[in-house]
Amino acid sequence: MIANAAEIRKFTILSWGWLTIIFGLVWAVSWLVGVAIPLLLANVQADWARLVTEICQVLTPLVAVMVFIPINAMFMVLAERRALALFTVRKGPNRVGPDGFLQTLADALKLLFKEDITPRGADAFMFTLAPIIFFAPSIFGALPLLAAVTNNHNLFQVVNLPTGIFYVLAVSSVPVVGIVMGGWASNNKYSLVGALRSAAQAISYEIPLVLSIITVCLMAGTLDVVKIAEMQKGGLLNWNILGGGALSGLNKYFQALAAGQADAHQMLSQYYPDWGSVIATVVLIACTVLLVGIYLTGACAEINRIPFDLPEAESELVSGYNTEYSGIKFAIFFLAEFTNLFIVSTIATVMFLGGGDCPLPDWLNPLTNPAVTQPVGKFFSFFTDRIHLIDPSTFFPAIWVIIKVYALVFFAILVRGTLPRFRIDQLMAFGWKRLVPLSLIIFVLVTFAKGAVRLHV
């Protein structure tokens, strides 16, 4: 136990070190491209200066994502290896760098310099194109989420789409095309079987996954991820995981009690006038908790995470669809898999867990107290007003998003270290006979129950 406690401490230090590097670098690059360069050109009265400023503002989200994805994937690989070592009470990679800090950087360099082999008889063009098609949606699918996780920051408003979640779901369905293409082009029977398994798995589990997201959009009345995140502000009682605002009346009641308002009880009876509305609230909470489970299950199946990693199944298919890949092409597949895990965790955070909102309700949250907010605002004023370096309205929500997203990533790693792999017949039966009917039933229940409760009051 003492040895494992020491490993937990090392894992914590390693994680905070990597996260500081990752988000510090992304913040620095975003500030340089989106703020510093336009500020330098602000006094230049020329058409080219205005053009460069507009280009910088448009490119800022793309540059931020391009910088974030590779270094975040390296951290997630290392975190998974060290976390799995903790779960099995052993040591993970700890040789390269201080306590293994640079292990995945060394692994990435090794893959980049390995020989890139195309199998005999393979379709060379399709074989090369497949990793690109698998990886590209990871970049473009993450863009609309930037505005939601940064409290609609000015630098990322350009990627805020009115139908943002629809765009994310549409783009997230593309990677399976790359998997099928790579499996077929490899001219390998094991790769082809893995690719076909991936296609069947994607068709089966995309239905409940999309239905779970659509149900949340139904409660929110919008497809805009920024608006959905804003509707969940005010603490845990407003989050979609607790009925999508069904308890917001109770939240207002406690807030009124904390403020000493005399009409607090009348406010409560206004939101829950009869037993029907109370029952509907309970139904909404139960349904949305189930929706979280359905979404996380479907997301793990979509990105081929254990226990749904049948397309790779080493005990049956060598390595599945990527058996014949090596070098940088294999690295791209590997990079996309961990990026997709991060993206589905971010979607869950925005749609169910309040985005960048603090879990504490306003009437318990010290950050909403003027005695706290005014000194914090003065501290940040130099960075905000003079050099536009830090925006407190974005800084604190981003911290909460980081905590929530990586908590879900850690949960996915825990599932990998705990559950065995499904058989293919069990996987298909669970999707079609359990998740699809359950998600349809929940959709119908939410449709009727939300009319009896005033949501997002």
Residue 403 confidence (pLDDT)? 92
Has residue 197 got a pLDDT over 70? yes
pLDDT in the model for residue 455 = 64
Would you state the pLDDT for residue 404? 93
How confident is residue 294, by pLDDT bands cut at 50, 70 and 90? Answer: very high
The pLDDT score that the predictor gives to residue 68 is 92
Q: Which of 224-228, 237-241, 368-372 has the lowest mean pLDDT?
A: 368-372
Mean pLDDT computed over 344-359: 89
Instruction: Give the pLDDT score at 45.
Output: 78
Please state which of the ranges 46-60, 84-98, 305-319, 408-422 shows the lowest mean pLDDT. Answer: 305-319
How confident is the model over 342-366, as a mean pLDDT? Answer: 83
Cα angle vertex 294, ends 169, 207, to 5°?
A: 45
Average pLDDT over residues 72-83: 90
Band of residue 349 on the pLDDT scale cut at 50, 70, 90: very high
- pLDDT on residue 457: 46
Q: Provide φ and ψ at 440, rounded to 5°.
A: -70, -40
For 125-153, what is each residue's pLDDT tens digit? 888 899 988 888 888 888 888 888 888 88
The answer to whether the predicted template modeling score (pTM) of the entire model surpasses 0.75 is yes
Q: Say what the pLDDT of residue 262 is.
A: 67
Which tokens is 147 given? 């505005």
Q: Which two tokens stand for residue 301?
A: 């199946």
Q: Which helix or strand (DSSP H or E) is residue 434 part of?
A: none
Mean pLDDT of 263-273: 70
User: Is residue 425 pLDDT above 80, yes or no?
Assistant: yes
Alpha-carbon separation of residue 239 from 233, 342, 357, 361, 436 (angstroms): 7, 20, 9, 10, 24
Of residues 377 and 355, which shows the higher confidence score?
A: 355
Mean pLDDT to the nearest integer, 398-409: 91
Q: What is the pLDDT of residue 408?
A: 93
Average pLDDT over residues 200-214: 90
Q: Which of 416, 402, 326 is nearest to 118 (CA)?
A: 326
CA dist., res. 282 & res. 301, Å (int): 29
The kind and range of the H/E element at 387 are: none
State yes or no: pLDDT of 70 exceeds 80: yes
What would the mean pLDDT of 278-287 be, rounded to a whole number? 85
The residues near 20 (Cβ < 8 Å, ≥ 6 apart) are none
| Measured distance CA(387)–CA(380) in Å, rounded | 11
Total number of residues shown for the chain? 457
> What pLDDT sits at residue 376?
56
What does the pLDDT average to over 3-7?
A: 75
Q: Is the pLDDT of residue 218 over 80?
A: yes
pLDDT in the model for residue 409? 92
Cis peptide before 392 (omega within 30 of 0): no
| C-beta of residue 213 within 8 angstroms of C-beta of residue 167 | no
pLDDT band at 213 (very low <50, low <70, confident <90, very high): very high
Q: pLDDT-derived band of residue 453, with 50, 70 and 90 as boundaries?
A: confident
Q: ∠ CA 89-93-94 to the nearest 5 degrees? A: 100
Q: What is the pLDDT of residue 333?
A: 86
Whether residue 368 has pLDDT greater than 70: no
Would you state the pLDDT for residue 2? 58
Please compute the mean of the pLDDT values over residues 43-52 and round it to a whole number: 80
Reading the block at residue 73, the tokens are 């994937």
Please write the tens of the pLDDT for every residue from 239-261: 888 877 777 777 777 777 766 67
Least confident of 12-26, 159-173, 184-198, 355-369: 355-369
Average pLDDT for 308-328: 79
Residue 391 confidence (pLDDT) above 70: no
Residue 377 is predicted with a pLDDT of: 56
Rounded to the nearest integer, the mean pLDDT of the chain is 83
Side-chain-facing half-sphere of 434: CA atoms under 13 Å: 13
Answer whether 417's CB lies under 8 Å from 87's CB. yes
* Mean local confidence (pLDDT), 45-62: 84
User: What's the rounded mean pLDDT across residues 227-247?
Assistant: 82
